[in-house]
Structure 1
């Protein structure tokens, strides 16, 4: 069972001069639009409860104004909540004093921003060393770590360049290297790839996935792009108007949307490249079909030709260890593609 790294419980954020009094109106049933019209307060987050698992990549997504960036800034209390709880590794973040908060931000969490947030007057190497200096790491050790992480993100040889001499994708690699160099358990990535061109963005996603496979960090990744969420996320939480609408595995969200909003949100997704056999498999009930097994991670587009060519329109599904975990039927696969 996966441990919970970050627990968010009944979190509210109301922007305005009297958030506590406005919160009473929200508890009384007043919605976001009415609250703004009648009180001038903005409901940023409304009763968010979410467990973020350790060593996984949690995507939080939604359209502009949904509250996703507001939420991520609550995790290290860059924004103070109006009400609710935040727990990290079983510690109450809301009970932390300034020294504990400073340590949380220095050692436990690192952030990667959409606008890169590099220091333009410092060389690339010095930018990556920056967080290590704040941690009190000696200069020689900081330089050694910075060189290592620049190499890992494909920027060996660029140590003495300035950020303005690099492309956007290269600058974002510097930002990622800076976050990884601190060896924090948790990476907070706020629309980290949104400013990049599509091909560079795909490249950065691949780099992140490769590093995550090795490092097993807890990553909270904010995006408004469903394709990006489906590609990189172990789990996805969808926000709308400050509320958590649906949370779970990307496959389940596509196949079982919680409401019309999620249905519309997922309408344009290429199901053939997203839905995997693990989401479609049914119990064998003692009748395991013959034929070449399909991996549980096989996407629908790759499975359909094999299912169509199978003798009975059924094939077994196996896990990464090769054990049969169920079966998939051609009819179910076609239905999932056209739903």
Structure 2
């Protein structure tokens, strides 16, 4: 996740307010205006003196930037930087900030050498793009490869403790969380964005599955659903594979009737099979291979639904290389 700083020099109250509403990590203003920013909201305030500005005009400027970073200084490259010099610097340092004046430049800065700079300093002329910059750099988690799996069995399994995840975000049609009995085979469980004659939509909610199930998390990690807590960032995945973050507002664990859904994916190496326990209720949905939500009560053997397959092997949610079999 990238750090986003908004530079408001000279100080502009309207732009600073916009920056706070957009969710930036810090605001840069003149030292005399720091208290004015703090009066508007809780946010880190820095001054221009806190960062060493380097303008890349010639090859020697790259060496200046690298030396300053290695000396422990926070370095920001002045707007107008070009990709090759930034690549040369990033190859030698772990931390670097770039000034950006638009969404396109911010996205470019975040992706140079694949890892990109760790901090983007958005200039006042980029204020119109600020909300999109924050969403792209702080919420987007890239794209996940989803596959179409064939449902092979749907069984009633009695009562179990299921986890209902209420986020502080309004999710959209096609979005949900990846959940499964194994971290190597997870199902896209849809958010409750759909209404019916009996229950209103709850677009902030994912009725995610049984307490023991894995869910995919940011940073290529997994966790058990039962371990989710208020304030935890969870990974939201769309039917198109696009990902973002949402913060958990509340977790409800309740005893409910459950279904065991089994599906399989055929690969060049053979057949992969996965399972997930979901509550037996009309409002619980998986996602079809066409991207549409499908209620578990109407799901049939032979239906195609979206899943993610991966290599097995996790320890405390971290990927490990180990011979492991989950059933």
Which band: TM-score by shorter chain? Answer: 0.3 to 0.5
When you count strand as a share of all residues, which structure comes out higher? 2
State TM-score, norm by structure 2. Answer: 0.32
Q: Tell me the TM-score normalised to structure 1 length.
A: 0.31
